[in-house]
Amino acid sequence: MNKKIFVTGATGFQGGNIAKVLLDKNYSVSTLKRSEGQGQPANPDIEVIKGGLENKEALVKVLKGVDVAVYTFPLIFDLELAKEYTSNFISAAKEQEVSLIVWNTGFDLPNKNSDLLTMNLKLEIKKIFDESGLKVTTLVPDIYIDNIAAPWSIPVILNNNIVPYPVASGMKVPWISHSDLAKYMAEAVDKPELAGQILPIGGNLLSGEEITSAISKEIGKTLDYVPLTPTAFEEQLVPAFGPLAGKEISNLYRYVESNQSNLIAKDFKRTQEILNVKPQSLTEWVQSVKWQ
């Protein structure tokens, strides 16, 4: 009998990639979606239950018969909502006797609280999971390289011959693609013996200049890397996302600036071996993107 896997946000970028890999492995996949018209259309092979993480009844329904649940907290910067949504999810998972949770932290998981809401939120979720009694495997990515090739970013690259990003010039940091994220998550689903572990995933250490050079070669145009300060990045985000989201998203890159040595020191190779995942090379990632 095929496993049934619940995936949060299976109509989004991260969740959609995770769901696709699981479907390719012939697993059944279920997800929540507040309305049919919201976000991207769901893959027709995914069971979609109407509702969100605030809806306890919908969570109980969508987790019925689920063997493993993949949890990625949505891009919401509200500590109380993080606690409420995660507690709702845990309550439903217990009621439906879900045997394993695979938690994607979405970014680095710090060791202690700070003045950065977006990082404290992750620690609060971890605390709730730790106290739940559920079996939880925690996977910790860092910077998503797909941010550089987002639909709104590609026109900037092609029209202005620049690759702007809020990582300092020459600074190597760990990157991961959505495709690789999905591979790691799908492998963790099959390894309940890893419950209780916190595993760093990804680990391609690259500078903005190296990524820019690879894109230049692929599209046949000379591009310049433009390092943005987190403050300049925040100023660009605010009109589209609002002041709170603009500040908290840019805070991720302030965190990168002050924690670079810790980020690059993670034992990515051990996780690659445990989960049998070989990350995409930079060339493979560049060639996977539709630069048009």
CA 145 from centre of chain: 11
Other beta carbons within 10 Å of 43 = 15
pLDDT digits (tens, 9 = 90+) for 170-179: 999 999 999 9
What value does the mean pLDDT take over residues 24-28? 95
Cα 174 to Cα 151: distance, rounded to the nearest angstrom: 22
What value does the mean pLDDT take over residues 67-83? 94
pLDDT tops 60 at residue 168: yes
pTM higher than 0.75 for the full model?
A: yes
Task: Indicate the pairing of strand 204-206 with strand 173-176.
Answer: antiparallel
The beta-carbon contacts of 33-40 under 8 Å, at least 24 apart in sequence, are 39/11, 39/12, 40/11, 40/12, 40/16
CA angle 280, 248, 70 (to 5 degrees): 50
pLDDT digits (tens, 9 = 90+) for 234-254: 999 999 899 999 999 999 999
Query: Residue 72 is encoded by which pair of tokens?
Result: 């990625």
pLDDT digits (tens, 9 = 90+) for 86-133: 999 999 999 999 999 999 999 999 999 989 999 999 999 999 999 999
pLDDT grade, residue 34 (50/70/90)?
confident
pLDDT tops 80 at residue 1: no
Cα 262 to Cα 91: distance, rounded to the nearest angstrom: 34
Q: Are 230 and 253 in contact (CB under 8 A)?
A: yes
| 185 membership: H or E segment, kind and range | helix 178-189
